[in-house]
Amino acid sequence: MTITQPAVVLPREYEKISMPPLKMQIDGLDFYYGRKQVLRNVSLPIHERRITALIGPSGCGKSTFLRTLNRMNDVIGDTHVTGSILLDGEDIYGPDIDVVALRRRVGMVFQRPTPFPMSIFDNVAYGPRINGLARGSELAALVEHSLQRAALWDEVKDLLYQPGTSLSGGQQQRLCIARVLAVQPEVVLMDEPCSALDPISTASIEELMMALKENYTIVIVTHNMQQAARVSDETGFFLLGELIEFDQSTKIFTDPRDKRTEDYITGRFG
């Protein structure tokens, strides 16, 4: 594999556009599974209350990158990270970081819905309960609020004590989103949240993301370029572990700077 120059492109014009404050700042990130390097010198900003989309062909490292943002890769043994990831200015790989507290602030929605084998209510109440956020009627209110936020309340308000697994795929995914929201995170990471869903469920999740943007910072990995173009404010294109291009989505999808980005979004490969 030939290694080209680190290709982080942050154009000058881009910096000039007035942007919301930075929520996360990734700088010179390298990531290794054992000896295999999966991410090379990735740097990008994540702005508050924006949707940042990460696109790229399978195996390009975009999911791995997403999982470094809440240190989910720590679960896998024999990995290591260099470079820095700042959350509100604090390095999340720093020595004083409480990983459990970090994951409360940076929640995650996975590719396949992962309802726990418990009731719908208990699924949503799980996070608040283990974190001691609420109990009793306060907890019930938080569960209702979270389900409303996830646009699921009307469908499940009479089924709260049915198992979470009894819902349809799209409903399960919204349940998982409600479950994340109940912990009141600041950033929500979404790892291909619609890839297991039908178009109608996908549309409802996308609508939901647009609404959530008001209060949350969202980072989404997607294989679906139309989806990235539809929902995101910024887009990063990954290829072979490198961030090839990062820019406003409108720019990336209409006038990409890099030839490889253009080839990918026009469907010439990937």
Which residues contact another protein (rule: CB under 8 A)? 70, 72, 75, 77, 100-101, 103-104, 107-108, 110, 112, 114-118, 126-127, 130-131, 163, 165, 176, 179-180, 183
Q: In the chain, how long is the greatest CA-to-CA distance? A: 59
Is residue 264 within 8 A of residue 270, CB to CB? The reply is yes
Nearer to another protein, 123 or 261 (CB): 123
Shortest spacing between CB 186 and another protein, in angstroms = 12
Shortest spacing between CB 70 and another protein, in angstroms = 6
Would you tell me the crossing angle of helices 136-149 and 169-181 to the nearest 10 degrees? 130
| Amino acid at the residue 133 | L
Nearer to another protein, 62 or 179 (CB): 179
111: Cβ contacts below 8 Å, ≥ 6 apart = 191, 192, 193, 195, 196
Nearer to another protein, 78 or 154 (CB): 78
Burial pattern 2-22, b for ≥16 Cβ within 10 A else e, equals eeeeebbeeeeeeeeeeeeee
Shortest spacing between CB 106 and another protein, in angstroms = 8
Nearer to another protein, 96 or 154 (CB): 96
Shortest spacing between CB 218 and another protein, in angstroms = 15
Shortest spacing between CB 22 and another protein, in angstroms = 22
Going by their DSSP bridges, the two strands 106-109 and 187-191 should be labelled as parallel
Nearer to another protein, 131 or 224 (CB): 131
Among 63, 136, 75, 135, residue whose Cα is nearest residue 100: 75
Nearer to another protein, 62 or 260 (CB): 62
Q: What length is written for the chain? A: 270
Shortest spacing between CB 182 and another protein, in angstroms = 8
Query: In what side-by-side order are the strands of the sheet with 36-47?
Result: 36-47, 22-33, 79-87, 90-91
